[in-house]
Amino acid sequence: MSNDKKPDEFELIARFFAPLAVAEAGALGLGDDAAVLSPPPGRTLVVTTDGLTEGVHFPTKDDPRNVAARLIGVNLSDLAAMGAEPWVYTLALALPEDWEPAWLTAFSQELKDQQDHFAIHLVGGDTTRTPGPMTLSLTALGTVEMGQELRRGGAGPEDEFYVSGTIGDAALGLAVLQGGIDGLGEIHSEALLARYHRPQPRVQLGRRLYGLATAAIDVSDGLIADLGHLAMESGLSAILKAAQVPLSEAAQAALSLNPDLMERVLGGGDDYELLFTAPHSAATGIAAVSDDLGLALTPIGTVTDSNGEPGCVTMLGGDGQALPINKSGYRHF
C-alpha cells in the first residue's frame, strides 16, 4: 500500500489531469463546467465514445500505462475508420476505493505521451468513486473536411476489400495472457502481448483513404464479424479468401504450434486495423499509400450482391472451397 496521500476530487483533477489540458484554450483549464470549442472552418465534427472496465476489457491490476494506451487507441481507431483527424477528448473515471495515486501518476503520464504522439488534448471529463471495478470512458472528437468522412455503407458490388497491417495478433496476445500458447517462444509471445495491450490506431491511413475507399470500418469485434457489419451496411455480402489474410511472424509461429487458433485469429477481435473496400481501379493509389506509410494494405476478398442475404460472409480456402466459420465475433453483452 502506498503512503502517498490520496487527493480529493479537485486536487486529483489539478494534479493529474489539468496539465493535460493546457494546450487547448477551449478546455478553460478544466476549471469550468464544460469546454468551449469551435471546430476549424470547413471541417465537420466526428465524435466517438468507448469505455473500458477492469476485468472485462483489461486485466485486473494491469499496468496503468497499458490501460491509458488502450483507452486512447480504441477511440482513435474509430476516428481513423471515419477518415477523421483526432482533435480533443474528454475522460470519465470511476475509481474503486483502493485506487492509488501512483496508479494515476503512471496513467496520466501515458495519456500525456499519447497526446504528444497524436497531437490531441484533454478538454474535460469527470471523476467519481465506485464500489465495483474501475471503469473508464473516453469520448474522442475529431474533424474531417466536410463531405469527406468515410462510412460503412458505401461499398459497391465487385469492390475489393483490404485490411491494414496484420490480423489476429491481439487475440493471440490475449491467449498468451490467459495462460500461454504451448511452445511459443518469448519473443513471439511478447510481440503478441504488445499488440493486445497497445493497439495502434491507423489515423494516418484513414486520412489518406478519401477518394480511394468506398467504405471502411475498424476491426474491433473480429475480422469476420466486422466484414459482416460493413457488408450489411452496404446491403451486400462478402467473399473472404482465408489464405490472403495477412499474418505476422508471431501469429504464424503460434498457428504452426496450434492450427485451431485460426478461429481466434479471424474472430477474436481487438486488431484495430482498418478494413476498407475499393474498386479495382483504386489499386494503384492504394499501393502508393501503402508505400508512403510503410504499412501493408492487403486485398483479402471481394464484395458481392449475389452471395446470399446482406451481411453474409463466405470464407474460401486455398482450393476455392467454402470453409466453416464462426461469424459471431466479440460481443459486449
Cα 325 to Cα 139: distance, rounded to the nearest angstrom: 34
Q: Are residues 100 and 218 in the same domain?
A: no
Expressed as residue numbers, the domain containing 113 is 9-145
* Closest alpha carbon to 292 in 228, 233, 207: 207
Question: Is 3 contained in some domain?
Answer: no
Q: Are residues 118 and 176 in the same domain?
A: no
Cα 19 to Cα 234: distance, rounded to the nearest angstrom: 43
**Distant-in-sequence, close-in-space partners of 75: CB < 8 Å, separation ≥ 6:** 48, 49, 50, 89, 138, 139, 140
Q: Are residues 175 and 213 in the same domain?
A: yes
CB 85 within 8 A of CB 126: no
Question: Is 152 contained in some domain?
Answer: no
Cα 188 to Cα 249: distance, rounded to the nearest angstrom: 8
CB 27 within 8 A of CB 123: yes
Q: Are residues 225 and 131 in the same domain?
A: no
Q: Are residues 129 and 234 in the same domain?
A: no
Task: Provide the number of structural domains found in the chain.
Answer: 2
Q: Are residues 302 and 190 in the same domain?
A: yes
145, 178, 213 - which closes a domain = 145
Q: Are residues 130 and 171 in the same domain?
A: no
Q: What is the DSSP letter of 13?
A: I
Task: Output the pLDDT for position 10.
Answer: 82
Q: Are residues 109 and 245 in the same domain?
A: no
| Distances from the Cα of 297 to the Cα of 161, 205, 292, 293, 310, angstroms | 10, 10, 11, 10, 25
Task: Output the pLDDT for position 155.
Answer: 94
Cα 192 to Cα 255: distance, rounded to the nearest angstrom: 12
Task: Output the pLDDT for position 326.
Answer: 66
Q: Are residues 303 and 164 in the same domain?
A: yes
Question: Is 151 contained in some domain?
Answer: no
Task: Output the pLDDT for position 308.
Answer: 67
Q: Are residues 135 and 164 in the same domain?
A: no
Question: Is 284 contained in some domain?
Answer: yes
Per-residue pLDDT of the chain (333 residues; tens, 9 = 90+): 445 677 878 888 889 999 989 888 888 888 888 889 888 899 999 999 999 999 888 888 889 999 999 999 999 999 999 999 999 999 999 999 888 899 999 999 999 999 999 999 999 999 999 998 999 999 999 999 999 999 999 999 989 999 999 999 999 999 999 888 999 999 999 999 999 999 999 999 999 999 999 999 999 999 999 999 999 999 999 999 999 999 999 999 999 999 999 999 999 999 999 999 999 999 999 999 999 999 999 999 999 986 668 889 999 988 778 888 765 544 443
Q: Which helix (H) or strand (E) holds 72?
A: helix 64-81
* DSSP string covering 14-32: IIIIGGGGTT-GGGGGG-S
Question: Is 17 contained in some domain?
Answer: yes
112, 145, 178 - which closes a domain = 145
Is 0.85 topped by the overall pTM? yes
Task: Output the pLDDT for position 307.
Answer: 60
CATH for 92? 3.30.1330.10
Q: Are residues 187 and 300 in the same domain?
A: yes
Question: Is 1 contained in some domain?
Answer: no
CB 201 within 8 A of CB 85: no
110, 145, 180 - which closes a domain = 145
Question: Is 332 contained in some domain?
Answer: no
Q: Are residues 180 and 244 in the same domain?
A: yes
